[in-house]
Amino acid sequence: TRCYAWVLMTNHAHFLFRSGPAGLSTLMRRLLTGYAVSFNRRHKRHGLLFQNRYKSIICQEDAYLKELVRYIHLNPIRAKMVSDLQSLKKYKFCGHGMLTGHKGQAWQDADYVLKYFASDLKTARRKYLLYVRAGLDQGRRSELVGGGLVRSLGGWTEVKKKRRMGMGRIKGDQRILGDTTFVQTMLKQVNEKYERGYELKAQGVDLDYIAKKTAGIYDIEPDEIYSKGRQQHRADARGLFCFWAVRELNVSLSELARRLMMTPAGVGYAVQRGKSIVRHYGYSLLK
């Protein structure tokens, strides 16, 4: 996963990520849990730190990357946490400084963003600063933070129709930021994924079916998939089981984690293991 922009505010944060193989949910779970543990230890407190689940927006890169980087990095000025761009460069809780040449975080990919402005580093930084300065008077833009983000015929209304027709739950806090073609493509992928899951369920495919199918491949009992163990063949079987359950049947990581007595992050890694197994051996759920 790569981070292109970020800012920490007094009661929330913004990040612009390119999701990696493990998925955004795994990254955010580890990030938020790690931050909460560190914060609680530092301030000698206990209990939950974050009130709500994070909200994610799928963004079309070419059309919106520069705008989002600028919008995210200008948050401290809009909130009057810093007075001007010069102060923003030195503000250590924001990624703006690294894009201007100040020392930053190793996990921030500044080079990728700067290449959108120019191939020469000095020129890119100068053009980036000019671009950011041009956005100072824009204020809060609802179309970039959760309002009016779906640019498609029907947008998420169509997804909600699918839900009412019995096609399952799609996270209500998810949005899409892009042109009509991009949004329609994303919606099509979402719909196809859920349609695939319901088609399989209609054919009698459930977790028991997947467990038996996986157990047959690895010559083990289905119950062994649910029991803990570090043997290679059992770990591979659990990975294949998790991959099919999550990617084919649309079972959530949290639900599968409860059933397998694992953490959601652990299930996420198992899914990646299963993906590699399917790619290498060509296993098919219905064959």
116-163 pLDDT per residue, tens: 999 999 999 999 999 999 999 876 665 565 433 343 334 444 444 544
How many CB atoms within 10 Å of residue 261? 10
Which string of DSSP letters, residue by residue, matches 128-174? HHHHHHHTTT----GGGTTSS---SSSTHHHHHHHIIIII----TT-
Question: pLDDT per residue over 235-284, tens digit each?
Answer: 999 999 999 999 999 898 888 999 999 988 788 889 999 999 999 999 99
Residue 176 has phi, psi (to 5 degrees) of -130, 130
Are 269 and 25 within 8 A, CB to CB? no
Rounded to an integer, what distance in angstroms lies between the CA atom of residue 7 and that of residue 187? 29
State which CATH number among 3.40.50.720, 3.10.580.10, 1.10.1750.10, 2.40.33.20 fits the domain covering 207-281: 1.10.1750.10
Share of the chain above pLDDT 90, in %: 52
Answer yes or no: pTM beyond 0.75: no
Domain boundaries, the chain: 2-139, 148-194, 207-281
Query: DSSP code of 243?
Result: H
Domain 2-139 listed as CATH 3.40.50: no
Task: Provide the pLDDT for residue 117.
Answer: 97
Rg over alpha carbons for the chain, rounded to the nearest Å, is 22
Q: What is the average pLDDT value for the chain, to the nearest integer?
A: 84
Model confidence over 40-74: pLDDT tens digits?
999 999 888 887 778 888 888 888 899 999 999 99
CA dist 169 → 24, 160, 165, 176 (Å): 18, 9, 11, 17
What does the alpha-carbon distance between residue 28 and residue 50 come to, in Å, rounded to a whole number? 12
Instruction: Yes or no: say if 63 and 183 are a contact pair by the CB < 8 Å rule.
Output: no
